[in-house]
Structure 1
């Protein structure tokens, strides 16, 4: 799914009006119908709704929603600034229609701060949509700040008022903190960043009939099941273990063999034909007992002193490795002699951060999977996640490698400058071991001849979806990385059925 900018979304609206034989007013009505149906199915119609309407088309959406809710039997109050009223023809048309519905209470927005929420009122934010670029001021700002103090359910239409679709809001801006956001046709970029997504609550994408023929270039995308289904390769019935490659997981040290076990188990579960664990001899019994399906190759006594593996193997390096000087030297030697792409995580990245010149030795097409602190050690501190993403784009292009920026919406950044936001995963995965599992998953996909981009994309989606299933079964608090591994098979079953 492409993620369009606010300007492109306006183009999409215009394209639909010009090519689908509908008017902009009809498109507004379609959006209102979709929102009203969602509200009715979610909260029921025998509720009190208070709808705050701004001066533009977002306010027009709110007015149309108010009319439709009232026709279906809901008790509705509309709050709008009576002095300036509405600035677009479609919003004005809906305002005139509201006047013909006497059972809808209309009050001036300047009086809203005097209102005390009575009972089970649901507040609808239709003040400003994704086209708004300024800071909210005046009575609108007062209304947003007042509404943010309420415990009542708050639903934003299109985007929370005050939030930019494409970037951080200006510091100090008033932004509505919604419980739900009903957005139209596709995600907005700001929904997927921690500083801005926190205002959106749960996001619901509603189809309002925008033309599917619209197509403009984009560099930002959302990874969903449909997208992944197009990249997933179902197995041929006449395959053998050699068809699915060899994975070498270079991981573990004395006291940190758990990380190695998680990575190896994940590689096995993800379908690697042959999986080899390269770990210190002190971890032999642990690995052979925990992962009998994997082979073991000694690479040191208590910490890693060498990295084996031929060019025919997909190699993932880092979990529980430690940063001992001999381990760092072994990694440097390996990188200087390796030509094929690899996957790097955890202590492998910490070693690179301590010797930045080694970044130039990472083979082209490799995948690195830093969490925020690891990225900071490698490339320096960024002011915010938008700035970090810009830096990652530059570095991916400069180094010709792929980034997997682990976060709530993990981002895959390609050397071409494309960014893919993952839409699976949850806060229960924010604990030790989850990243080790991801390294094993991606390495196994590379072994199965997925290209680095597809391996990273399928890997993060599969990882997050397995985490969602584990959380549903065990709770976010109680789920473990091993629970995530156990759900990988369930995700593959779902993918195979879809294909």
Structure 2
């Protein structure tokens, strides 16, 4: 799914109006009806809706929603500022509300005197994606007031105060929604931690904007959806054997950190690797042979990996639990000097490169690195926010010709051609040590099965998050463990099939 700028979304609306024989008023009606269908599905008729409408088309959506909710039998109160200049479509929908005596219309000035019922739901239709400045004055006061109420808060299209594709100021006033009903496509600001936190649960509402525009309008940013994952996924050929699905070598572990090697290896096995090897220190031999009997052990040293005598023609994933001994760092640096095939690099291997930044340019082209924000900072430098971090990642991915999997709540995959893929599977239950080790194993195994580096990164991140979602559903976010996530990889493949 493409991510469009606010300016492109406006073009999308206009293109739909011009080419699909629909008026702008009909488009608002379509959007409002889709929202009301969602409300009707999720709330009983005994709820009371209080809708705050601005003067633009987002307010027009709010007025239309008010009317349609009233027709569904809900109690509706609308707050607006009737003295302000409304857009043409907003004014039409305001007038339609005025004609219904059962809808109470109130001025913003009186929100402090209003007595909200216990079963109230607050709807924010103040500002849409066209906002390009901080909200100030009495509207800012109104939003602060609403944010302090204990009722469910729902935003239409985007929480008022957010901009669709930009970072906000630290002191910006933003409506804090519990749910956001966004039209047609994700907005970039919904996918970054500093801004997405205001959106709550995000629900895509299809308002049937032009498919033709969507196909021809360029974008370099995407959300990984199930459709893309299905397209990337390779169904296994019945007439195949273990050699068909490649060789994976996991280079991991040190004394006291063998769990990382186990998790990465198990994840590789569960992700379809034909032959799986684990290059680890001898101190972990028994642990690995018992925990992962399907994998073959390669002795990398006594208590840490000090040689990279890996299986030939295998795809290598390196980093989990390696530790930071000088001998391991030296061995890894020597390995990088002579290796030219794509690698998957994470954790301690990334920290070793960060400590020896001259080796950044020795990372083989088309390799995949999987840093979390702190690891990224150690590698490439500090940034002020996640928007700037993404921009820097794009520069570095292009400069080094590598793929960067920038781990976050919505992990971003950045390609050497500056495409960005946001992942929306996964949950906070995965915020535990070991989840990243599993991701390395998954991506390495996919690369070994001849997925392209781009597809291995995209599909691997989606698969990892989806398995985490199944694990959270089964065990809860609090109780789920990375090993539970690995066990659910099979559930995801069953789901895909």
CA distance in 1, matches of 2:369, 2:471: 25
Deviation of the 1:380 alpha carbon: 1.4
1:438-460 Cα distance to aligned partner (Å, 9 max, x none):
00000000000001000000100
- 1:285 and 1:357, CA in 2 relative to 1: closer, same or farther beyond 3 A? same
> In structure 2, what is the equivalent of residue 464 of structure 1?
465
Q: Is the 8 A contact 1:52 1:127 kept in 2?
A: yes
Once the two structures are superposed, residues 277-326 of structure 1 have per-residue CA deviations (whole angstroms, 9 ceiling, x without a partner) of: 00011111111111000000001111111112255110000000011111
Deviation, 1:204, is 0.4
Partner of 2:265: 264
Tell me how far apart the structure 2 counterparts of residues 346 and 115 of structure 1 sit (CA, whole Å). 54
Which stretches in structure 1 are left out of the alignment for 5+ residues? none
Instruction: Give the aligned partner of residue 419 of structure 2.
Output: 418
Are 1:36 and 2:39 counterparts? no
Is it true that 1:178 corresponds to 2:177 in the alignment? yes
Secondary structure of the residue that 1:278 maps to in structure 2? strand
User: Structure 2: where are the runs of 5+ without partners?
Assistant: none
Alignment check: 8 A CA contact 2:46 2:119 kept: no
Give the Cα–Cα distance (whole angstroms) in 2 for the partners of residues 126 and 435 of structure 1.
39
- C-alpha distance in 1, partners of 2:308/2:408? 29
Q: Displacement of 1:227 after TM fit?
A: 1.0
Alpha-carbon distance between aligned partners in 2 of 1:183 and 1:271, rounded to the nearest angstrom: 37
Note if contact 2:220-2:418 (Cα within 8 Å) is conserved in structure 1: yes
- 199-208 vs 135-144, which deviates more? 135-144
The answer as to whether partners of 2:277 and 2:311 remain within 8 angstroms in 1 is no
Counterpart of 1:71 in structure 2 is 71
In the alignment, which residue of structure 1 is the partner of 2:148?
A: 149
Tell me, yes or no, if structure 1 residue 282 matches structure 2 residue 283: yes
Quote the Cα distance in structure 2 between the aligned partners of 1:96 and 1:317: 64
The alignment covers a number of residue pairs equal to 495
For residue 104 of structure 1, what is the aligned residue in structure 2?
A: 103
- Correspondence list, 1:188-199, <5 A: 188-199=187-198
String of CA shifts for 1:461-497, please: whole Å, max 9, x gaps: 000000000011111111011100100001011112x
Contact 1:45 1:69 in 2 (8 A): no
8 Å Cα contact 1:311-1:340 kept in structure 2:
no
User: How far is the alpha carbon of 1:13 from its aligned partner?
Assistant: 0.2
Q: Could you tell me how far apart the structure 1 residues matched to 2:55 and 2:169 are? A: 21
1:333 matches 2:359: no
Match of 2:485 in 1: 484
Q: Deviations over 1:60-104 (max 9, x none)?
A: 000000011111111110100122152x11111111111110111
Give the corresponding residue for 2:436.
Answer: 435
RMSD between aligned residues: 0.9
Moved more, 245-254 or 138-147: 138-147
Higher mean displacement: 166-175 or 155-164: 166-175
Shift, 1:114, TM fit: 3.0
Q: CA deviation at 1:139?
A: 2.5
TM-score (ref. length: structure 1): 0.98
Counterpart position of 1:376: 377
* 382-391 vs 136-145, which moves further: 136-145
1:80-229 alignment runs, 5 A limit = 80-86=80-86, 88-214=87-213, 215-229=216-230
**Structure 2 CA distance for aligned equivalents of residues 186 and 19 of structure 1:** 20
Aligned to 1:249: 250
Shift of 1:156: 0.3
Structure 2 SS opposite 1:272: coil
Cα distance in 1 for residues equivalent to 2:102 and 2:481: 54
CA contact (8 A) 1:428 1:479 kept: yes
Is the 8 Å Cα contact of residues 311 and 338 (structure 1) preserved in structure 2? no
- Structure 1, residues 420-455: CA drift from partner, whole Å, max 9, x if none? 000100000000100000000000000000010000
Tell me the distance in 2 between the aligned counterparts of 1:313 and 1:94: 64
Q: Which residue of 1 aligns with 2:314?
A: 313
Inter-partner Cα distance in structure 2 for 1:476 and 1:149: 27
Q: In the alignment, which residue of structure 1 is the partner of 2:241?
A: 240
User: Residues 375-407 of structure 1, C-alpha deviation per residue, up to 9 Å, x if partnerless?
Assistant: 111111110000000000000000100000111
* 4+ aligned runs moved over 2 Å, structure 1: 113-118
- Aligned residue runs from structure 1 range 386-425, under 5 A: 386-425=387-426
TM-score normalized with structure 2 length: 0.98
In structure 1, C-alpha distance between the alignment counterparts of 2:274 and 2:492, rounded to whole Å: 19
2:46 aligns to what SS in structure 1? coil
CA distance in 1, matches of 2:306, 2:389: 34
Aligned to 1:58: 58
- Distance of 2:382 and 2:115 partners within structure 1: 44
Q: C-alpha distance in 1, partners of 2:309/2:128? A: 56
Whole-Å separation in 1 of the counterparts to 2:169 and 2:255:
49
SS across alignment from 2:106: strand
How far apart are the structure 2 equivalents of 1:116 and 1:436?
52
Deviation of 1:274 (Å): 0.3
Distance 1:484 1:149 in 2: 37
For the residues of structure 2 that align with 1:169 and 1:297, how far apart are their CA atoms? Answer: 51
Is the aligned partner of 1:6 residue 2:14? Answer: no
Distance (whole Å) between structure 1 residues aligned to residue 311 and residue 268 of structure 2: 18
Q: Cα deviations across residues 160-196 of structure 1 (Å, max 9, x unaligned)?
A: 0010110112331210000100000010000010000
* Other-structure match for 1:449: 450
Task: Find the aligned partners of 2:175 and 2:100 in 1 and give their Cα distance.
Answer: 28
